[in-house]
Chain A
Amino acid sequence: MNKSDWKILLVDDEHEFITTLAERLELRGINARVVFDGESALLAVAEAEPHVMILDVLMPGIKGLEVLERVKRTSPNVQVLLLTGHGSTRDGIEGMRLGAFDYMMKPLNIDTLIEKMESAIDYAGKAAKLGR
C-alpha cells in the first residue's frame, strides 16, 4: 500500500503540536485527519475507520486509554499508536494490554513514527489475511 493510501487519524488536545505533525506528514505524502479530543476521535472512527490512529494518552474529557478500549471494541482492525508526554511505562504496557500496537514518547522523531505506522499497517494487513 502506498503512503498516500494510508488513512491516519491524529488525536491530541495540543493543537499546535498535532496540526504541525499533520502538516509534516502531509509533506511526506501521508494524509492525516486531526481531531482534538476523545469524543471527536470516536465519531471520526465511526465515520471512517482509519488504518492507524495516533492517540495521546492524557487528554481532557475521555482519556486516551478509554478511547483505545472503545475503538478496539467496535473497530478491532484500527491500529493504535499511543503517545505519552510522561515516562510511565505503566500506561504504555496497559495500552498494549488493551490492544495498542505500540507506544511512543513525546517529543517524537518523525521518521521513527512513520516506521511504526508502516509496521502497524503491515501487521494489520497480515492479520486481515490470516483472518480471511
Chain B
Amino acid sequence: MRKLASLFKHPLHELQSDVDEAVSPERYTMLRRKIIALIVAASLIPLSVMAVLNYYEHQNAMTREIQNPLRVLVNKTKNSFELFLTERTSTVSLIASAYSYGELADADKLARIFTVMRTEFEGFVDLGLIDEHGNQINYVGPYALKGKNYAEQRWFQEVRLKGKYVSDVFMGFRKFPHVIIAVRHMAPDGRTWILRATLDTRQFERIIAGMSLEPDADAFLVNTEGRMQTDSNYYGKVLEKLTFPLPPQTYEPTVVSMTDPLGRDVFLSYAYFPEADFVLMAVKPKASVLKTWYSVRGDLLFIFLVGVAIVLLAAVGVTDALIRRMKEAEDRRELALREVEHSQKLSSIGRLAAGVAHEVNNPLAIINEKAGLMKDILSLQDEFPTKDKILAQVESILRAVDRCRGITQRMLGFARRMDVTNEELDLGELITETASFLSNEALHRKVDVRLEIDPLLPRIVSDRSQLQQVFLNLFNNALAAVSDGGRITALARPEGDGVSVTVRDNGCGMSEETLKHIFEPFFTTKRGKGTGLGLSITYGIIKRLGGEIAVESTQGVGTTLTITLPKGQREALA
C-alpha cells in the first residue's frame, strides 16, 4: 500500500526536484515508468471498477430476465395441473352427490354416467362404487374389478377420513401409470359410499408438453418422496427415483441454481402442490438460457480490453512525448548554460588579460626606452673593442621587447575582442584573400587547398578584419591538422537568410573529449606551439557578429568547421 502511495506521490515530486539537476538517462527511464504507471493506474482503476460493476449489474439483470419467465411458466403449468385435478375431483364429487346409492349401484346407469363423463372430460379410465366396507359394488371400465375389496388399502382409509383423495401415480392392477380420485358421500339417511375413478396420466404428459420447452430443457412431476410421476428426459422414467434431492418445500414457484447429476449448470424452477402430493419441476441449462448474457459479456470484455489497450497506448504515447519535451528542454538549458559559462569564462579571462597586458606594457615601455637610449648612445660612440658585442646585446633586448609587445597586444586583442566595424563585403573575396596568406606554406607542404565559392553568394554586412582573423585561424588550424599532401576545402554558399562557410580538412581529427573543450580559452593540442586562444577568439568573434559556429570531427578522418553568418543590415552601417 505504501508502495502504491509512493508511486502516486513521486513522479510529480521528481519533476520538480529534478529541474535544477542534470537528469541522467536512467532517471528519465525511471520517470517514464512512473508516469506511465500513474496514468495507467489513474485510468484503469475507475475503468476496472466500472467494468466489474457493469458485469455484475448486467449479470443480475439478465438472470432476473431469464428466471422470471421460468417462474411464471412453472406457476401456469402448476395451475393447469391443479385445475385438471380439481375439475376431475369435482366431477366425481358431483356424481357421488347427484345420484343415489341405488342409481349408482345399477350397472346400466353407472355405465351411462361413465360414458357422459368420458365425453365431457378426457382422461377417465374407469369408475367404481365402493360401499362403506370397502367392497366394490359396481364397476365400469376395462378390467374385471367388481367385488374386489379395498378395506385394507391406504387410499380407502384416507378417503374415509378426509372425504376426498387424489393418489400418487402408481401401477396397480392395470400395469400402467395411473392416478386414483376417490370421493366419499354420506346420504341424508346416514348411508356412506365411495365413488372411485381412475385417471390416465397421459393427460399429465400433455400438460407438460404444453409448456413448449426447448429440447435441452426438461419438466416433470415428482411426489414428495422423490418418486417420478411423469417421464423425464434426463432424470428418470415414471416411478423411478429422482436422481437429485428434492429442493426445500415451497408452494410459491421458486428458481434455484444448481448443478444437475449430468454435471450441467441449470436453473431449477419448482413448486409444491398444496392439495396433492406432487412437485412440478422445470429444468433449463444455463448454457442455453444465458446465451444472450454470454454474448453481452463477450462485448463487455472486448470493450474493456479495447479500453485498456487505448489507455496503455495513450499513456505510453503521452509520456514519451512529455519525456521527449523534457529532454529537449533540458538539452537547450544545458546548451544555454554552457554558452553563458563559456562567455563568462571568456569575459573574466579577457579582463585578466587586459590587466596583465596593461601592467606589463608600462615596464616594457621603460625597458624599451632604456635599451633604445643605450643603443642611441652606443651609436654615437667611437669604436671600442666591445662596442659591437654590447650593441648586439641591446638589439637582443629590443627584440625581446618586441616579442613581448606582440604577446601583450594579442592578449589585449583577445580581451577587447576587437570592436566591431561593419562594412558591406564580399565574403568570397575575403576568404580567397585570407587563404592566399597561407599559400606559400601550402605550396611548400603540397597541401591541396580548394576554395568553392557559390557564385550566388550574397554580399554581407560584417567586420572585415575580424572575419579575416576568423578565417586565418581556421586555415591555420586546418594546415596544422593535415599532413603533407593533405587537403583543405572551404565551401561558401547561401544559407537561409545568410551565408555558411564550411572549412573541412582530412587531417588527424579530434577525440570527443577534445571536441568538448576546443572553444575554451587556453585549450590547445599544439603542445607549446599554440596560445590556445585561436578558436576561443574565433568563437567570440562569430558570436558577436551574430553567427554560429559548429564543429564535427572524427579521429583519423578529419574535421569540419561550419560557420553561419547573418546577411546583416545595410542600415547598421550608418
Query: Using a CB–CB distance below 8 Å, which chain A residues touch chain B?
Result: 14, 16-17, 20-21, 23-24, 27-28, 58, 85-90, 105-108, 110
Contact = CB atoms under 8 A, between A and B. Distances in A.
B402 to A, nearest CB: 8
A105 B409 contact: yes
Interface stretch (B250-258, B358-366, B475-483): B358-366
A104 to B, nearest CB: 11
B354 A20 contact: no
B462 to A, nearest CB: 18
Nearest to B401: A107
A87 B377 contact: no
A87 B419 contact: no
Main secondary structure of the interface of B (DSSP, over half): helix
Interface of B: 354, 357-358, 361-362, 364-370, 372-373, 376-377, 380, 401, 405, 408-409, 412-413, 415-416, 418-419
Nearest to B421: A89
Nearest to B358: A86
A20 B363 CA distance: 13
A88 B362 contact: no
A87 B365 contact: no
Nearest to A88: B416
Contact of A106 (B354, B362, B372, B415): B362
Given A17-B366, A107-B365, A108-B365, A87 B372 contact: no
Contacts of A14: 362, 365-366
A58 B357 CA distance: 14
Contact of B415 (A85, A87, A108): A87
A17 B380 contact: no
Contacts of B419: 89-90
Nearest to B412: A87
B362 A87 contact: no
B20 to A, nearest CB: 39
A17 B365 contact: yes
Contact of B376 (A24, A87, A108): A24
Given A20-B366, A85-B358, 14 more contacts: A17-B362, A17-B366, A85-B361, A86-B361, A88-B354, A88-B412, A89-B416, A89-B419, A90-B419, A105-B409, A106-B368, A107-B367, A107-B401, A108-B369
Residue among A16, A21, A87, A90 facing the most chain B CB atoms (10 A cut-off): A87
11 contacts: A14-B366, A16-B369, A24-B376, A27-B380, A86-B361, A87-B357, A106-B361, A107-B364, A107-B369, A107-B401, A108-B369
B401 A87 contact: no
Nearest to B362: A85
A24 B378 CA distance: 12
B416 A87 contact: yes
A27 B85 CA distance: 160
Contacts of B367: 107
Given A17-B362, A107-B364, A108-B368, A24 B416 contact: no
A16 B372 CA distance: 13
A85 B372 CA distance: 18
Given A86-B358, A87-B413, A23 B365 contact: no
B405 A107 contact: yes
B405 to A, nearest CB: 6
B343 to A, nearest CB: 19
Given A16-B370, A24-B373, A107 B361 contact: yes
A86 B357 CA distance: 7
Nearest to A110: B372
A104 B164 CA distance: 147
Contacts of B361: 85-86, 105-107
A41 to B, nearest CB: 18
A85 B365 contact: yes
Contacts of A108: 365, 368-369
B412 A86 contact: yes
B568 to A, nearest CB: 21
Given A24-B376, A86-B357, A17 B412 contact: no
Contacts of B376: 24, 27-28
A34 to B, nearest CB: 12
Contacts of A90: 416, 419
Contacts of B408: 87
A28 B380 CA distance: 11
A86 B359 CA distance: 8
Contacts of A87: 354, 357, 408-409, 412-413, 415-416
A107 B398 CA distance: 10
A14 B366 CA distance: 8
Contacts of B365: 14, 17, 85, 106-108
Nearest to B364: A107
Contacts of B418: 89
Nearest to A15: B366
A121 to B, nearest CB: 22
Nearest to A58: B358
Most buried by A among B365, B368, B373, B413: B365
